[in-house]
Amino acid sequence: MEKMRQTVEQIIGEEPFKDQNLKLIGMGADKIVFETPGSTKKIIKISTNFLSQKIGLLLNEGNETKIDSKTEIDADKYQKDLITEHKNIERDILEIFGSEHLLRSGVFKAEVPITKDMISKLMSNEHYRPMLEKLDDETVYKIKTLAETQIIAEELRNKEKFQTKSFNTDLVTEDNFRSAGNVPKALLYIKDFLDSNFLSEFDENSKDEKYVEIVKEIVTKIIKYTKRTGFMLDIFGPDNITIFNKEDDSLGYHLPDVILPGSQNYWRKNIKDDKNFNLLRHNYTFYYSIKSLADKLGIKDNLEPEDLNYFKGAGIPTEGEFTIKNE
């Protein structure tokens, strides 16, 4: 991720981006987030997955004007469907958490200028080398895309002033998870990891009654959302949920980015259909984090494995049931 961030920062510092004075402020699992000098109140998000798709179309043809129209329409439809899907999910979040905790967003059509040199930096795999050679060195290609906008969270612009805390947990890396050999050992690894990081951070701040109350509200509503929908919220990225001091010294929170990235079909699997347990570390990390916090906070209507679509009908694996495959 850090290498990709450096690549993007290098690209926006060169022509044809240089004159636009874009400022890279973050990268998520599938989004690049920019600030522009033309808008001090909004950020712009561009989907890296969709951009890669459109660059792939460009490479396959060697010239964007020769791209098969049906293929391009399918790619555009994919992005529109994705945005619509996220908007539908947002309705449940809005109803449960309240509008004051979400940041208003919108969508607009954009053209991303890109050159052969830029594409070579973004698509460095040797597989693309023959296709890259088809492109003209001097041409600035235009990639049509839908970009998303979002009101900027003031607490993220000035973390010191608002004394911002992030409500998030890191994920155990896939390599470390699989190195455990079997699922029970991997889940124990996750427990130890969370106990010494995310959960211990809560313990350290638990003397602050205002902090405890705001965390209790967030956890209660996350549980309500999961029981209603069967899905997780994305608590895996820094600043996906922010807790901050308001002007009157009370605490508030925002949910800048809590919808899981990409197509939600990816996240809808049940554990019985997830043969290599690709989603187990996400679902178990979410389950153990939220359930453990709820226990600490005395929340009676706590999360159960059956509340998550992933564990429904199967539960959490126990000793001897499963072996992790290194594939």
Domain edge (last residue) among 152, 182, 208 = 152
Q: Report the 10 Å Cβ neighbour count for 160.
A: 6
Same domain, 98 and 228: no
Domain edge (last residue) among 152, 184, 203 = 152
pLDDT, block means (10 residues), the chain with 327 residues: 69 74 74 76 81 80 47 71 88 95 84 84 74 84 84 78 87 90 91 96 94 97 97 92 88 92 89 92 97 97 97 84 57
Separation CA 69–CA 217 (nearest Å): 49
The total domain count for the chain is: 2
Same domain, 65 and 194: no
Same domain, 173 and 270: yes
Same domain, 168 and 97: no
> Does residue 323 fall inside a structural domain?
no
Paired with 243 in beta bridges are 165, 253
Separation CA 158–CA 215 (nearest Å): 21
Separation CA 7–CA 69 (nearest Å): 30
Q: At CA 190, angle to CA 277 and CA 316, rounded to 5?
A: 50
> Does residue 138 fall inside a structural domain?
yes
CA atoms within 13 A of residue 144's CA, in its CB half-sphere? 11
Exposed, middle or buried, 159 (CB in 10 Å: 0-12/13-18/19+)?
A: middle
Same domain, 239 and 275: yes
Range(s) of the domain holding residue 263: 161-307
> Does residue 326 fall inside a structural domain?
no
Domain edge (last residue) among 152, 174, 209 = 152
> Does residue 322 fall inside a structural domain?
no
Sheet of 31-36, strand order: 23-27, 31-36, 39-47, 140-151, 105-115
pLDDT tens readout for residues 239-279: 889 999 888 888 999 999 899 988 888 999 999 999 889 99
> Does residue 319 fall inside a structural domain?
no
Same domain, 22 and 140: yes
Nearest CA to 107 among 47, 156, 38?
Answer: 47
Same domain, 175 and 294: yes
Same domain, 299 and 270: yes
Which pLDDT score, from 0 to 100, does residue 27 have?
A: 75
Query: Omega into 256 within 30° of 0, i.e. cis?
Result: no
Same domain, 8 and 76: yes
Is 0.85 topped by the overall pTM? no
Same domain, 78 and 44: yes
> Does residue 291 fall inside a structural domain?
yes
Which pLDDT score, from 0 to 100, does residue 316 have?
A: 92
Same domain, 142 and 172: no
- Sign of the Cα torsion 317, 319, 320, 324 reads positive
Which pLDDT score, from 0 to 100, does residue 63 have?
A: 45
Which pLDDT score, from 0 to 100, does residue 300 have?
A: 95
Q: At CA 226, angle to CA 87 and CA 270, rounded to 5?
A: 95
Same domain, 248 and 181: yes
